[in-house]
Amino acid sequence: MMGPAHSLSGAAAWLGVGAAAAAADHPMPWPVLVVGALICSGAALAPDLDHKSATISRAFGPVSRLLCEIIDKLSFAVYKATKKQGDPRRTGGHRTLTHTWLWAVLIGTGTSVLAMSGGRWAVLGILFVHMVLAVEGLLWRAARVSSDVLVWLLGATSAWILAGVLNKPGNGSDWLFSAPGQEYLWLGLPIVLGALVHCVGDALTVSGCPILWPIPVGRKRWYPLGPPKPMRFRAGSWVELKVLMPAFMLLGGLGCLGALGLI
């Protein structure tokens, strides 16, 4: 799928989690719902760090372009080192390492540890990165015609404001994990969810997605998981634009209402 659809699916997924949490009698404070949806929206773009033409490669200028080149080479090296006899030959690392459940869990865990142990500036950094990505994904038309600096300023301002809101008592810095020292431990959850939602979205397209790696399936370790081929679509096709994106918006709205206890 393309960047805007990935971002919408990430936001909808977190709002759905919010509705489920409310139904389980453990509702999210509204700042957790908002911040989590934005982080999940941004994190749903992050697996495409292995693609130099992806939205995330442009998000932070030369820094993100260089990072994409590094991740692409790393992913390709891991693919070559771990592929089985049935896996096809490749010339790049797109849709390999960063498109797996293991990558999602590792990145989410690392973020939780950083947020919990790094203090306010670590939280601000995590929020800034994902606010910029959320702007690039959800407001992609405006982001494309504005300068990178304006997008970065919007991301930095949003991160500063939201961090201040979360820090206030009862607003959610200790949501779900309330023991002393576990503030912001939950920040890794929307990142894991966003990465997994991205993988599921890509699995619906023609090429499929090796979500299960390193678990082998038959003669392949990088098995391209997906529905039957007649049910798949090409990225950017009318199915994505006319069916899936409106569905994500509808599901996100319903999830938000459920999370706030309005339905």
Q: Dump pLDDT digits (tens) for 137-149.
A: 888 766 665 677 8
- Predicted confidence at residue 145, as pLDDT, reads 57
Q: Is 261 left (phi over 0), alpha (psi -120 to 50) or beta?
A: left
- Predicted confidence at residue 250, as pLDDT, reads 96
Name the residue among 103, 141, 113, 108 with its Cα closest to residue 14: 108
C-beta of residue 211 within 8 angstroms of C-beta of residue 101: yes
User: Exposure of 67 by Cβ count < 10 A (0-12 exposed, 13-18 middle, 19+ buried)?
Assistant: middle
- Predicted confidence at residue 179, as pLDDT, reads 82
Could you tell me the end-to-end alpha-carbon distance of the chain, in angstroms, rounded to an integer? 31
Residue type, 135: V
Distance, in Å, from the CA atom of 124 to the CA atom of 111, rounded to the nearest integer, reads 12
Q: What is the CA radius of gyration of the chain?
A: 18
- Predicted confidence at residue 35, as pLDDT, reads 96
Distance, in Å, from the CA atom of 136 to the CA atom of 214, rounded to the nearest integer, reads 31
Distance, in Å, from the CA atom of 6 to the CA atom of 195, rounded to the nearest integer, reads 9
Instruction: Report pTM.
Output: 0.92
Taking the alpha carbons of 48, 54, 57, 58 in that order, is the dihedral positive or negative?
Answer: negative
- Predicted confidence at residue 141, as pLDDT, reads 65
Residues of the chain with pLDDT under 50: none
C-beta of residue 219 within 8 angstroms of C-beta of residue 71: no
H/E element holding 166?
A: helix 148-167
Distance, in Å, from the CA atom of 140 to the CA atom of 120, rounded to the nearest integer, reads 29
- Predicted confidence at residue 235, as pLDDT, reads 82
What are φ and ψ of residue 100, in 5° steps?
-130, 160
Angle between helices 101-138 and 3-23 (to 10 degrees): 110
Residue type, 228: P
Residue type, 59: A
Distance, in Å, from the CA atom of 83 to the CA atom of 55, rounded to the nearest integer, reads 28
H/E element holding 64?
A: helix 62-82
- Predicted confidence at residue 236, as pLDDT, reads 81
- Largest interatomic CA distance in the chain: 56
Distance, in Å, from the CA atom of 220 to the CA atom of 217, rounded to the nearest integer, reads 5
Distance, in Å, from the CA atom of 8 to the CA atom of 10, rounded to the nearest integer, reads 5
